[in-house]
Amino acid sequence: MNKIQDLELNICGTTVSVYDAHPLSPPVHTLILLHGRKSSRDLWLETMREMQSVGHRTVAVNLPSGGSAKLRNKGTFMNALLAALYVTDKPVVVSVSFSSNYVLPLLESDSLRGWVGVSPTTPPLLSVPTLLIYGELDVKARPLCEGILRSKSGNGNATCVMVRGVGKVDHDPVLEHGMWTKELKQFLMDL
């Protein structure tokens, strides 16, 4: 297995740290992994290793601190990030909680192959295949995901998975590693 590279990129005038893991053969998919508000790119290390071992390129991004206060145009940021990483295919973006806001401009511009939202806080545009993972105790994401499942329009693109007994912290479902990676692998195989 190739090692995980630790890179610093200048994106829109901001230094951004990323981990970049390439598989030994050409990647099946490129995954861009975005952490939640109280986390960092380190959240994704175990997931990166597992996805790399099954043929996916994975990039874990340390988002600029300060969120929307520091970065006004998330679409410009994400497009510049993808260009700096030489991502030429449509990636699958995995976002946790508030980082879903970085995904919306890409969904609106038809720039993604798929989206995985972990405890999403923003109602998604279901224009691409979507996997939503949330905790049973998540008071924000659970109603959003359950509303999508009840909706008669547009939910053909979405799969929602509830992780029982978690949800007090926005990345709890990711910490349930066995179930998390099983669902992620199945989603990627179905693309």
Instruction: Measure the CA–CA gap between 188 and 110, rounded to whole angstroms.
Output: 18
How far is 131 from 29, CA to CA, in rounded Å?
15
- Strand, helix or coil for residue 130: strand
- This prediction's pTM: 0.90
Instruction: Give pLDDT tens digits along the chain (191 positions).
Output: 678 999 999 999 889 999 999 998 889 999 999 998 888 999 899 999 999 999 999 999 999 875 444 567 889 999 999 999 999 999 999 998 888 889 888 888 888 999 998 888 776 667 889 998 888 888 888 888 888 777 755 556 888 888 888 877 666 666 666 778 889 999 999 99
Asked whether 191 and 129 are in contact (CB, 8 A), the reply is yes
